[in-house]
Amino acid sequence: MNEYTINLQWDQEASVWIATSDDVPGLVLESGSLDLLMERVRYAAPELLEMNKNKHPDVSLCFMMERHERAYA
């Protein structure tokens, strides 16, 4: 089983989570909900891999989340 890293990053200005991946060419999705975005990635990643001639029946996704915020005292 191949593992693919999915980067999830919060865009403060747009108030959305953005999913991208160097391992899955063409993957760019966004959503206001982190859970919904992860669900969308679960469906889109295998389809994109297949479109890119990377046929693996079992796909393992590793979600890496990053969110930066300012804290005020």
Range of the domain at 53: 2-66
CATH number of the domain that residue 56 is part of: 3.30.2390.10
Which residue type, as a one-letter code, is found at position 71? A
Q: What is the mean pLDDT of the chain?
A: 92
Q: Is the pLDDT of residue 63 over 80?
A: yes
More confident position, 16 or 59: 16
Q: Indicate yes or no: pTM above 0.85.
A: yes
pLDDT digits (tens, 9 = 90+) for 29-38: 999 999 999 9
Phi, psi angle pair for 38, to nearest 5°: -60, -40
Q: Is 31 exposed, middle or buried (0-12, 13-18, 19+ CB in 10 A)?
A: middle
Phi, psi angle pair for 39, to nearest 5°: -65, -45
Q: CA-CA distance, 69 to 5, in Å (whole number)?
A: 23
Supply the pLDDT for residue 64: 97
Domains in the chain, number: 1
